[in-house]
């Protein structure tokens, strides 16, 4: 098992005021702001820990001939894997650098209806083996040219919130004052099935944590840790590596 | 010289009208009412057809079914599921049976060549909003009963058919979108269970075996 630890610089700062231009008088408080800014920027970084485990030595995807489908596991009673996370991983895998042919989740699930619904989807690769005994299913999978199934289970949640902020509006104007921060945590696990050998090929898990801040002096300034998108990007990178490189 | 700018003054009646409008919009936005007409977006199923000619009869109360509730928590809820249910069954049944037609009553005309008449009925519907279950989920449960009749109107068998759907809350979508999405998932689940479960249903299997034997005997010497 190989563990890769990445620390992403993921602070998204929304610009709410125009930057000072050349020739403008410099704000006297800049000497206070300058040391604060890096502190705020570093504070809202997120950290991603990736664990990957190759189970079998599957051959890499033949680019152009074979496709990959990324699907969300939605069988549990609780919170379900977000549709936009699945699309994000699919888009990252299909970008020009990876060059993988990725079938969009909805197109695949609709095309295979009713075999990949939340209540009917195969729960392990052995069930997939049974499913392809059905000629209609086998024919449709061949039509899609599926080589790898990537099942993703997990979600992003807010685990803590601190601080307070109050906003008020009156005849003379309005504004917000205060400071709020919150911690988000993303936990996802991808299970990769090789359709050719009908075996579990690899597992990749991503755990991303990050803290976002929102100071407000008249105007709230969100400093957001992009937890879910970092988890997506890092997980997609590792999945692409699993799918495109021959086992060493 | 002083530039002239147009001056807008809000007079007493206009101000009152504005306040009333703002309050009305705010009250409507906070109202508990829910009026929905969900659409069943169910793709044609991948299934091998049974060599049977089935007629489907949608009773009036099925075609026009509206879930209604008016309680303290759910004021003026009206979820019009009738047309979508018809769309759902019309999409799924032709994938399951070689021939499907519609009849207006359970007693078909003699010599129609029908193997059975299938009648779906709504047994129950339940919905849940995120604040009611303290989750981030919109949920829908649908329960139907499916009755099969001989072409002469004698009852063959009856079995329940259920479906469950859920959707997560989204920051920029309203509760109507959330519940619509959950109901559509539940419709898909009903279609999936009917397609995959009909052949092996305990209530249907003896009749299917009898039909197979009948067809085998008919094809014999």
Whether the per-residue pLDDT at A48 is higher than 60: the answer is yes
- Kindly state the average pLDDT of the residues A53-66: 78
Token digits of residue B76: 């003026």
HSE, side-chain direction, 13 A CA sphere, residue B214: 9
pLDDT for B21: 52
Examine residue B59 and state whether it is found in any structural domain, yes or no.
yes
| Whole-number Å distance between alpha carbons of A160 and A207 | 16
Domain that holds residue B189: 50-216
pLDDT in tens, A12-23: 433 333 333 333
Give the pair of three-digit tokens for residue B132: 């009611």
SS3 B79: strand
pLDDT grade for A42, boundaries at 50, 70 and 90: low
Q: Given a cut of 80, is residue A41 above it in pLDDT?
A: no
Omega of the bond leading into A155 within 30 degrees of 0 (cis): no
Report the gap between the CA of A119 and the closest CA in chain B (Å): 7
Question: What is the per-residue pLDDT for B186?
Answer: 96
pLDDT score at A53? 87
| pLDDT, position B135 | 83
**B16 lies in some domain:** no
Q: How far is CA A248 from the centre of its chain?
A: 27
Closest Cα in chain A to B162: A119
Per-residue pLDDT, B212: 86
Structure tokens of B42? Answer: 């169910």
- CB contact (8 A) between residue A114 and residue B136: no
Distance CA A26, CA A29 (A): 9
Choose the weakest-confidence range: A31-40, A235-244, B5-14, B211-220.
B5-14
Chain B hits for A111, CB-CB cut-off 8 Å, are 43
Residue B113 has phi, psi (to 5 degrees) of 75, 15
Per-residue confidence at A56, pLDDT binned at 50, 70, 90? confident
Does the residue B60 lie in any domain? yes
Q: How far is Cα A231 from Cα A194, in angstroms, rounded to an integer?
A: 23
The CATH code of the domain that includes B85 is: 3.30.160.150
CA-based nearest residue to A48, from A90, A6, A106, A103: A6
B130 interaction partners in chain A (CB closer than 8 Å): none
Question: For residue A177, what are the contacts with CB-CB under 8 A and spacing of at least 6?
Answer: A165, A166, A167, A216, A217, A218
pLDDT band at A44 (very low <50, low <70, confident <90, very high): low
Query: What are the tens digits of pLDDT across the range A142-165?
Result: 999 999 999 999 999 999 999 999
- In angstroms, rounded to a whole number, what is the distance separating the alpha carbons of residues B128 and B136? 11
SS3 category, B160: strand
B31 in a structural domain: no
Looking at CA atoms only, how far is residue B46 from chain A in angstroms?
6
Cα A167 off chain centre by: 32
B29 found inside a domain: no
Over residues A37-62, the mean pLDDT reads 74
- Report the candidate in A184, A175, A188 with the shortest Cα–Cα distance to residue A223: A184
Q: Does some domain include residue B41?
A: no
Q: Tens of pLDDT along chain B (221 residues)? A: 444 444 434 445 544 555 555 555 444 444 568 888 888 899 999 998 999 999 999 999 999 999 999 988 888 889 999 999 999 999 999 999 999 999 998 876 667 789 999 999 999 999 999 988 888 889 999 999 999 999 989 999 999 999 999 988 765 578 889 999 999 999 999 999 999 999 999 999 999 999 988 887 765 44
Write down the H helix ranges in A172-226. Answer: none
User: Please, which residues have CB within 8 angstroms of residue A162's CB and are 6 or more apart in sequence?
Assistant: A180, A181, A182
* Closest alpha carbon to B195 in B151, B155, B158, B163: B163
Q: Residue A6: pLDDT above 80?
A: no
Between CA B168 and CA B174, with CA B169 as vertex, the angle to 5 degrees is 130
Confidence check: pLDDT of A237 > 80: yes
B28 lies in some domain: no
Q: Hey, of B42, B188, B195, B198, which one would you mutate to test binding to chain A, going by the most A CBs within 10 A of its CB? A: B188
Pairwise CA distance, residues B74 & A108, whole Å = 37
The predicted pLDDT at position A122 comes to 93
Cross-strand pairs, B159: B146
ipTM of the predicted structure? Answer: 0.80
Best B192, B193, B194 member to test A by mutation, with max A CBs in 10 Å, is B192
Question: If residue A8 lies in a helix (H) or strand (E), which one and from where to where?
Answer: strand A2-8
* Backbone region of residue A124 per phi and psi (left: phi > 0; alpha: psi in -120 to 50; beta: other values): beta
DSSP E strands, A55-172: 67-72, 101-103, 146-170
Alpha carbon distance B108, B117 (integer Å):
8
Domain count, chain B: 1
Which of B15, B133, B168 to probe the A interface (max A CBs under 10 A)? B168
């Amino acid at each position: 098992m190989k563990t890769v630890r990445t620390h992403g610089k993921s602070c998204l700062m929304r610009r709410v005021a125009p930057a000072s231009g050349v020739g403008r008088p410099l704000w006297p408080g800049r000497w206070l702001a300058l040391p604060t800014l890096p502190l705020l920027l570093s504070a809202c970084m997120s950290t991603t820990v990736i664990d990957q485990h190759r189970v079998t030595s599957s051959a890499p995807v033949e680019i152009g001939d074979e496709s990959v489908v990324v699907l969300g596991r939605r069988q549990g009673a609780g919170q379900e894997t977000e549709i936009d996370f699945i699309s994000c991983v699919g888009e990252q895998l299909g970008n020009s650098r990876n060059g993988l042919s990725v079938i969009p989740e909805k197109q695949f699930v609709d095309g295979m209806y009713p075999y990949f619904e939340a209540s009917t989807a195969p729960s392990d690769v052995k069930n997939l083996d049974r499913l392809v005994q059905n000629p209609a299913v086998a024919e449709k999978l061949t039509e899609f040219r599926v080589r790898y199934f990537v099942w993703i289970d997990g979600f992003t949640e807010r685990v803590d919130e601190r601080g307070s902020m109050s906003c008020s509006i009156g005849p003379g104007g309005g504004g917000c004052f205060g400071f709020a921060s919150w911690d988000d945590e993303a936990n996802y696990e991808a299970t990769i099935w090789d359709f050719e050998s009908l075996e579990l090929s690899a597992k990749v898990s991503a755990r991303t944590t990050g803290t976002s801040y929102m100071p407000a002096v008249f105007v709230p300034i969100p400093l957001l840790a992009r937890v879910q998108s970092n988890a997506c990007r890092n997980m997609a990178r590792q999945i692409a590596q699993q799918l495109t490189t021959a086992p060493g | 010289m002083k530039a002239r700018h147009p001056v807008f003054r809000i007079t007493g009646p206009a101000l009152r009208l504005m306040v009333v409008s703002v309050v009305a919009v705010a009250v409507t936005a906070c109202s508990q009412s829910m009026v929905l007409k969900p659409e069943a977006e169910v793709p044609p199923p991948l299934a091998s057809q049974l060599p049977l000619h089935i007629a489907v009869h949608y009773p009036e109360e099925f075609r026009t079914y509206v879930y209604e509730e008016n309680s303290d928590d759910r004021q003026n809820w009206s979820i019009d599921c009738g047309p979508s249910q018809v769309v759902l069954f019309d999409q799924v049944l032709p994938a399951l049976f070689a021939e499907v037609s519609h009849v207006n009553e359970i007693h078909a005309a003699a010599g129609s060549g029908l193997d059975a008449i299938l009648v779906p009925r709504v047994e129950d519907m339940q919905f849940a909003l995120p604040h009611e279950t303290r989750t981030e989920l919109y949920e829908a449960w649908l329960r139907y009963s499916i009755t099969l009749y001989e072409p002469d109107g004698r009852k063959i068998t009856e079995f329940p058919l259920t479906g469950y759907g859920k959707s997560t809350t989204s920051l920029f979508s309203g509760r109507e979108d959330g519940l619509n999405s959950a109901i559509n998932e539940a419709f898909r689940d009903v279609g999936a269970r009917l397609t995959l479960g009909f052949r092996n249903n305990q209530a249907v299997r003896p009749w299917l075996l009898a039909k197979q034997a009948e067809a085998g005997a008919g094809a014999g010497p």
